[in-house]
Chains A and B, each alone.
Chain A
Amino acid sequence: DGGITQSPKYLFRKEGQNVTLSCEQNLNHDAMYWYRQDPGQGLRLIYYSQIVNDFQKGDIAEGYSVSREKKESFPLTVTSAQKNPTAFYLCASSIGRGRKDQPQHFGDGTRLSIL
């Protein structure tokens, strides 16, 4: 069954700690995205990657870092510099390669909370 797997489903962070959220896809998609969802604010783009070993900042990249060493994987690290990390984090992917009208497919998210 093709799809996007995010883990863990729930994550707790202590003060001063970095945490990494996992995102794996088996859709053979080139493009991958990370969004943050807060109540009443919709989805905001953190980082995106169009191809392996390349990624760009989105609208709210401060306090976050990513890597794209494999096509299937796009982990997001929430660093201690992110002062308000409590949110629902969503990973998405799309075919990419300049093809138009290809939808983004989402995982089921990771809910991050501060201890």
Chain B
Amino acid sequence: QQQVKQSPQSLIVQKGGIPIINCAYENTAFDYFPWYQQFPGKGPALLIAIRPDVSEKKEGRFTISFNKSAKQFSLHIMDSQPGDSATYFCAASNVSNFGNEKLTFGTGTRLTIIP
């Protein structure tokens, strides 16, 4: 079964710190790796995504690091703020074959940024 393993389950970081959330996948056919942010009572929203041909991608304070050989990728949040407190999901899909992003999600990380 295709799986994406996400850790940690929860994370508490002081304001200004750099929370890091890790994901590992098994299916080498995965070629698209998005991260979603979800606030309570809301649907997930796309934060940032990466393809395996690059090792790092930055968008504002959010950075994805990707290690193809280890089949791992991670999300870093620079200068974290209390407003970043949310649940974060990594995901993976094989867009080259399927073309419609049938996503496999990690189990989520509940992030709390304390002032």
- A residues sitting closer than 8 Å to B (CB atoms) are 4, 6, 31, 40-45, 48, 50, 58, 90, 92, 94, 96-109
Contacts and interface: CB of A to CB of B under 8 A. Distances in A.
Contacts of B99: 96-100
A100 B100 CA distance: 7
Given A43-B105, A94-B101, A108 B89 contact: no
A58 to B, nearest CB: 8
Contact of B100 (A6, A31, A106, A109): A31
Contacts of B32: 100-101
A45 B80 CA distance: 31
Contact residues of B: prevailing secondary structure = loop
Contact of B9 (A40, A92, A98): A40
A100 B107 contact: no
A100 B43 contact: no
A41 B4 CA distance: 11
A80 B9 CA distance: 32
Interface string B18-53: 000000000000001010100001111110010100
Nearest to A4: B43
A14 B86 CA distance: 32
